[in-house]
Amino acid sequence: MYSTKPILLIEDDQVDQMAIQRAFEQLNIKNELVIRENGEDALLYLKEFGKPCLIILDLNMPRMNGLEFLDIIKRDKLFKFIPVVVFTTSQQIEDKMRAYEKCITGYIAKPADSKKIIEIFKSINDYWSISEGPLS
């Protein structure tokens, strides 16, 4: 990653959380992976600890889903430029369109295969290792 700041993972599924943590370990990604299980808890994290270098966001979560979370942070001048990659099981075109309307950086469908998860996060890490983010 271009930054040593933490990466915020907003994901309610513990199996997916563990798969992503394993991918970070296998890829030797040095950024701290901060996990919050819904949009409300993620907002509290942002207000307390500030901007991560990247947000990885599921859409289907309890209490506050990913699209509701995006509505809030993309209206906030402190948080609107944080890169957000949606990582979700949703294949609904409406979800994709709404997410891109909120200026996300990317939309990736969750694979069932853990090897594919590692490949995806290798690509994300490679990209953000050469691309300077808006917060660098």
- Which residues make beta-bridge pairs with 109? 88
Q: Would residue 82 count as lying in a domain?
A: yes
| Tens of pLDDT, residues 62-81 | 999 999 999 999 999 999 99
Query: Does residue 48 fall inside a structural domain?
Result: yes
* Cα diameter, the chain: 37
Is 73 within a domain?
A: yes
Question: Is 61 part of a structural domain of the chain?
Answer: yes
- What residues have CB less than 8 Å from 40, skipping those under 6 apart? 63, 64
Residue 136 lies inside a defined structural domain of this protein: no
Does residue 87 fall inside a structural domain?
Answer: yes
Note the pLDDT tens digit of each residue in 103-124.
Answer: 999 999 988 788 888 899 999 8
134 inside domain: no
Range of the domain at 58: 7-128
The CATH number given to whatever domain includes residue 94 is 3.40.50.2300
pLDDT of residue 125: 87
Instruction: Supply angle C-alpha 21, 114, 108, rounded to 5.
Output: 85
Number of domains in the chain: 1
Does some domain include residue 72? Answer: yes
The pTM score is 0.92
